[in-house]
């Protein structure tokens, strides 16, 4: 009885043809039909077992989809113009407030995205700077090593020059205690006074800063 009552209410509320057939466990038949049960069953058979034109259904479905897409496209066009500040005269107060909220949300998202991109770019620059520092460490160490070698060579040259000049002066003093004689250095003859001057110049040159050398 409960099912029959529900079927009756459903037929009234939905304005639909309802047919209900119930067999109990004892074989008792209960049925309800808002119209003729046989006619409803026949309509059911025709709908389920009669082949239908699929192309017609596909065309109807495609038309519905196209209509929805076209309506959505037009709505997006209107929204785009409104976001650009165009065609605002036709909008009411509520619509303008809604548009303002959309613009605020879009502005917040744009700022967040901009901040994210700037942070990512700064991080990439930090990594690049670190890589460049690591690459420059080796050439810098090699340059310092070369400079140290150059300083050692210059110091050794000055020591050798000082020892050589002192030897020449000692020999001159021993073999010529009274009369100065002309000294031969290399392929040219140099008076003792000039030899002393050259020794002094050589010693002074070793004491000059490296920049003058």
pLDDT band at 113 (very low <50, low <70, confident <90, very high): very high
CB count within 10 Å of CB 82 equals 19
Spans of all domains in the chain: 1-52
Q: Strand, helix or coil at 205?
A: helix
Do 184 and 190 touch, CB atoms closer than 8 A? yes
Beta strands in 81-193 (DSSP E): 183-185, 188-190
Do 52 and 35 touch, CB atoms closer than 8 A? no
What is the per-residue pLDDT across 68-86, written as a single tens digit (0 to 9) for each?
888 888 888 888 887 777 8
What is the per-residue pLDDT across 115-149, written as a single tens digit (0 to 9) for each?
999 999 999 998 888 888 887 777 777 888 888 88
What is the per-residue pLDDT across 27-68, written as a single tens digit (0 to 9) for each?
788 887 877 888 888 888 777 766 555 566 677 778 888 888
Pick the CATH number of 1-52 from 3.40.1810.10, 3.40.50.10490, 1.10.510.10, 1.10.760.10: 3.40.1810.10
Q: How far is residue 74's CA from residue 68's CA, in Å, rounded to a whole number? A: 10
pLDDT band at 211 (very low <50, low <70, confident <90, very high): very low
Please state the φ and ψ torsions of residue 21, each to the nearest 5 degrees: -125, 125
* Total-model pTM: 0.34
């Amino acid at each position: 009885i409960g099912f029959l009552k529900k079927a009756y209410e459903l037929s009234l509320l939905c304005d639909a043809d309802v047919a209900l057939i119930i067999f109990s466990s004892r074989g008792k038949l209960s049925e309800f039909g808002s119209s003729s049960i046989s006619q409803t069953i026949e309509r059911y058979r025709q709908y389920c077992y009669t082949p239908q034109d699929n192309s017609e259904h596909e065309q109807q479905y495609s038309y519905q989809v196209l209509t929805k897409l076209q309506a959505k496209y037009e709505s997006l066009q209107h929204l785009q113009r409104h976001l650009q500040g165009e065609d605002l005269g036709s909008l009411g107060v509520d619509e303008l407030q809604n548009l303002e909220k959309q613009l605020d949300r879009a502005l917040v998202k744009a700022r967040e995205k901009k901040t994210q991109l700037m942070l990512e770019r700064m991080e990439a620059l930090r990594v690049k700077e670190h890589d460049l520092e690591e690459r420059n460490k080796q050439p810098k160490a090699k340059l310092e090593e070369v400079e140290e070698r150059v300083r050692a060579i210059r110091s050794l040259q000055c020591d050798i020059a000082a020892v050589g000049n002192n030897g020449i002066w000692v020999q001159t003093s021993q073999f010529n205690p009274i009369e100065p004689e002309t000294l031969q250095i290399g392929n040219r003859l140099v008076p003792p006074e000039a030899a002393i001057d050259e020794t002094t110049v050589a010693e002074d040159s070793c004491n000059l800063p490296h920049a003058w050398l």
